[in-house]
Structure 1
Amino acid sequence: MGKSRRVSMAVIRRLPKYYRYLEELLEKDITRISSKELSRLTGFTASQIRQDLNNFGGFGQQGYGYNVEELRNALGKILGLDRKYYTIIVGAGNIGQAIANYKGFQDEGFEVLALFDKNPKLIGLKIRDIEIKDVDSLEEFIAENEVDIGVICTPKEYSQDTADRLVKAGVKAIWNFAPNDIKVPEDVVVENVHLSESLFTLSYLLKCYSEQE
């Protein structure tokens, strides 16, 4: 990842939000924007935005601001969105099917090749023309196909074993939706998504708001 390896995760986690708002600006045919205007959209300060972008080189011009399309394209390259990623989903329950059903991922270059599950009632079914396969064929499928990302949507008790199987088969990136953190070798990247933690944060903020009233 080059220079971006020295950039803090706090900065990296803000980049997708910048990218999303720039996409929305392009949809509205807005061609340029100042850091102050981008600040109002994103909720980050103009100074913070400039500091974040300066980690990756010079963007924008004083008195002009940012060219929206050029900045969007540059952020897309920084985020690695200028290539296609082949993805599989292990666990074809509600979350797995919802991810497979979301066309937005494919539009950004994340192509789901297959889903895997152990439930015989699900095997053979298709979600948006994506077949649900027997999880026993997981390693064979990975060996025969280029797989960049494995998405884990299994129950908690199967998540680590699933991660181990993915890693052993050669998958280098895991997106984990199981309600526990998984352990992977240093040469494998993992993003743990805990839906309950996000909901608990929301409940805390709601509590604070109610107490203020």
Structure 2
Amino acid sequence: MGNKNISMAVIRRLPKYYRYLADLLAKDIQRISSKELSEIIGFTASQIRQDLNNFGGFGQQGYGYNVEALHREIAKILGLDKKYKAILVGSGNLGQALTNYSGFKNAGFDIMAVFDANPRMIGLKIRDYEIMDSDLIESFVSENNVEIAILCIPKEGAQQVADRLVKSGIKGIWNFAPVDLDVPSSVIVESVNLTESLFTLSYLMKDGEEA
């Protein structure tokens, strides 16, 4: 599966499948057809079958999908059967909100430490985390085999911090800084630009009004 050229569009639909299947399991629904799934999710039945066929045959003709088995297999495809060590850099409002979100640990992402460069923040606590000096990032990442960094800092310092993270051995960066990071191809960056998302909403609302 890892060698197949699967489009990002398909990959970005997988978390939605995972979430809806979890909802079905919570309702004790054990079996579902692609047509029924399409009515819930909003994708066509054909699209669902094509997406899932990229990763193997999960359904049976005349039966549909076993909800629990499909949920488990998508978790494996997404890598959610693994545990990831993470750090968070930047303890401003967004950093604090993410630190306080309990869903990360439930999904296998363990935030081990929070860092900040602001001397006034160092030593303060967010939940059970004492904010650490960002000068200690490299040693902490190396000593604890941290794989993921969550970046919640202004764009001015984001590239410099990203360079340090890369040198320390970080494999993935979840980037909330409003800047495109330049990293080696061996490091995965997933950027979340809140302003761009809001602008997209603005366009869609404007387009809908004009229509």
TM-score range, shorter chain: over 0.9
Aligned-residue offset at 1:210? 2.2
Residue type at the aligned position of 1:81: L
List structure 1 runs of 4+ shifted beyond 6 angstroms.
none
2:144 aligns with 145
2:68 aligns with 69
Distance of 2:123 and 2:74 partners within structure 1: 39
Distance of 1:127 and 1:66 partners within structure 2: 42
Residue type at the aligned position of 2:202: S
2:191 aligns with 192
Q: Which runs of 5+ in 1 are unaligned?
A: none
Report the number of matched residues. Answer: 211
Distance of 1:99 and 1:210 partners within structure 2: 34
Instruction: Output one character per residue of 1:80-106: Cα deviation in whole Å (capped at 9) or x when no partner.
Output: 000100010111111111111111111
2:103 aligns with 104
Identity of aligned residues (%): 66
- Given that 1:90 and 1:154 are in contact with CA atoms closer than 8 Å, whether structure 2 keeps it comes out as yes
2:110 maps to 1:85: no
Distance of 1:27 and 1:148 partners within structure 2: 31
Residues 24-35 of structure 1 aligned to structure 2 (within 5 Å): 24-35=23-34
Distance of 1:31 and 1:8 partners within structure 2: 29
Q: What secondary structure, in the 3-state scheme, does the structure 2 residue paired with 1:30 have? A: coil
Residue type at the aligned position of 1:42: I
Distance of 2:125 and 2:61 partners within structure 1: 52
1:95 aligns with 94
Aligned-residue offset at 1:2? 1.9
Residue type at the aligned position of 1:112: I
2:50 aligns with 51
2:191 maps to 1:209: no
Distance of 2:30 and 2:126 partners within structure 1: 37
Residue type at the aligned position of 2:153: T
Q: Which runs of 5+ in 2 are unaligned?
A: none
Aligned-residue offset at 1:127? 2.0
Q: What secondary structure, in the 3-state scheme, does the structure 1 residue paired with 2:183 have? A: coil
